[in-house]
Amino acid sequence: MHELTITTRWTDFDVLGHLTHAVYPVLLDEARDTYLTAAVGPFSDWPTVIAHLSIDFRQEITHPAAAVTIRTAVTGVGRTSVTFEQQVVTPAGEVAASARAVVVAWDPATRAKREIAARDRAALEP
C-alpha cells in the first residue's frame, strides 16, 4: 500500500469547519497519480481517464488539520483498466473516508481506451 501525505489549504474547509466533500476527489486523484507515476510513469507518458469513483464518508476531518494521508492500493488490473481502493486518513490515523476508483488507460491520439502492456500490468498488479 502506498501512502501520500497532502497538506490541506484554508479553502479545503467549509463553513462548518470540516474538509468539504468536493476536496476528496482531488486528494484521491493526486494520490492515484503519484502511485501511477511511480509504477508506470507520469501522466504525459501513461494517460488515464476516470471511469468510476465512489466515496464512503465515515467521519469528518476538522480544521485546522494541516494534512491528510491518502492510502492507495491497486486491487485489480484488467485489459484496459486499473482498480484502486483508497482511504483518506485523519492526522490522528483514523479512516475518514474510503473510496474505490477505476481508471482506464487512454490513447489521446485515438480518443479511446488502450490495452495495458504486459510490462505495465506486471508493475501494477497487486
pLDDT digits (tens, 9 = 90+) for 84-117: 999 999 999 999 999 999 999 999 999 999 999 9
CATH number (domain holding residue 83): 3.10.129.10
Whether residue 42 is preceded by a cis peptide bond, meaning omega within 30 degrees of 0, is no
pLDDT at 126 over 90: no
What residues make up the domain containing 18? 2-124
pTM of the model: 0.95
For the segment 4-14, the average pLDDT, to the nearest whole number, is 97
At residue 123, the pLDDT reads: 97
- How many structural domains compose the chain? 1
For all residues of the chain together, what is the average pLDDT?
A: 97
At residue 22, the pLDDT reads: 97
* Cell, residue 79: 485489459
Closest CA to 126 of 72, 66, 49: 72
Query: What is the number of H-type helices and E-type strands within the chain?
Result: 2, 6
